[in-house]
């Protein structure tokens, strides 16, 4: 099963792109927040991005305020926060919901393809990560507690395929 390349994504500056613009790359999709205990993961995410972007790896970060109100900032504030505090250069997108009836279609697809522990589909917290292969196949789901550096071996494997 492959993700829908026609899914529309709204960048943090509200410019619309489709997922197809990332086709052929290994993609990590992550829901993020700037006031979360896991926020320091931005640094490891940026490190991975810088290390592997030239090999076809990209991180797509989606701010979400559904967990403890930990992303109250506006898009421009989020962008500034990420750049100033973590030097984030990977693509940031407009705030979305990842759970519920108004969940973004990308997250609905990923949750259906890669359920969490005990088959639960709902995302439990910020910094849940999904790895997608070059052909759009969902490969793995990682919890908030999984550090980005712990996923590096899976990224390398996906880049080789």
Length of the chain in terms of residues written? 161
Q: What is the pLDDT of residue 116?
A: 83
3-class DSSP state for residue 85?
Answer: helix
Local structure of residue 72 (DSSP, 8 states): -
pTM comes to: 0.96
Q: What is the pLDDT of residue 4?
A: 93
Q: What is the DSSP string of 20-71?
A: GGGTTSEEEEEEE-TTSTTTTHHHHHHHHHHHHGGGTEEEEEEEB-TTTT--
Mean pLDDT, contiguous 10-residue spans, the chain (161 residues): 92 96 97 96 97 98 97 96 97 97 96 87 96 96 96 97 87
In the set 19, 28, 36, 78, the catalytic residue is: 36
Is 82 catalytic? The answer is no
Q: Is 56 left (phi over 0), alpha (psi -120 to 50) or beta?
A: left
87-103, pLDDT tens digit by residue?
A: 999 999 999 999 999 99
């Amino acid at each position: 099963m492959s993700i829908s390349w026609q899914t529309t994504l709204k960048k943090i500056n509200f410019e619309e792109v489709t997922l197809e613009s990332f086709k052929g790359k290994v993609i990590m999709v992550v829901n993020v927040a700037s006031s979360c205990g896991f926020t320091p993961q931005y640094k490891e995410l940026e490190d991975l991005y810088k290390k592997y972007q030239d090999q076809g790896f990209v991180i797509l970060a989606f701010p979400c305020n559904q967990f403890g109100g930990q992303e109250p900032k506006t898009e421009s504030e989020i962008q500034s926060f990420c750049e100033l505090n973590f030097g984030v250069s990977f693509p940031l997108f407009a705030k979305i919901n990842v759970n519920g009836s108004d969940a973004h279609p990308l997250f609905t697809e990923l949750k259906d393809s890669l359920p969490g522990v005990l088959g639960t589909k709902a995302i439990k917290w910020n910094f849940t990560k999904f790895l997608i292969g070059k052909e759009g196949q969902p490969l793995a789901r990682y919890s908030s507690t999984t550090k980005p550096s712990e996923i590096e071996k899976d990224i390398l494997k996906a880049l080789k395929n």
